[in-house]
Amino acid sequence: MDKLTKKQRSFNMSQIKSKNTKPELLIFSLLDSAKINFEKHLPIMGKPDIAFPEKMTLVFIDGEFWHGKYFKQIEASLQPFWSKKISENIKRDRRVRRKLRKEGWHVLHFWDKQITKSPEKSFKRIIRFLENKDIPDRS
């Protein structure tokens, strides 16, 4: 059972951004500075944060809590509602990424704090991934 009223929970959830978060903006800025073409929030399954369609590459930047980075460690302390919600998010993320890969997309994943802690390191990982000779250029 949730400790907050439905109205309180609704307000709290409405304050959580799903697009143009700080980690996304950091990477967008680095990509723009390097004059690398990309698309934001491509309207396909999973709603990837960054897409490089010509390289068939997608980047997901996920919140550690919502997408379950430490779920196994914190599951016992969560209310059943949140445990179920995060567990379903984890399963959905796996299904989405598996389906995207079957469709030929290359998928990169970052945790939000990984980027805020070291945006340059994350940016360099994206660049190395895009430059990988095994990825065909589809332009």
Report the alpha-carbon angle 104-110-112, nearest 5. 145
Q: Would you state the pLDDT for residue 8? A: 74
Mean pLDDT of 110-124: 96
> Distance between terminal CA atoms of the chain?
51
**Domains contained in the chain, CATH given:** 17-131 (3.40.960.10)
For the whole model, what pTM was predicted?
0.84
Question: What are the tens digits of pLDDT across the range 23-65?
Answer: 999 999 999 999 999 999 999 999 999 999 999 999 999 999 8
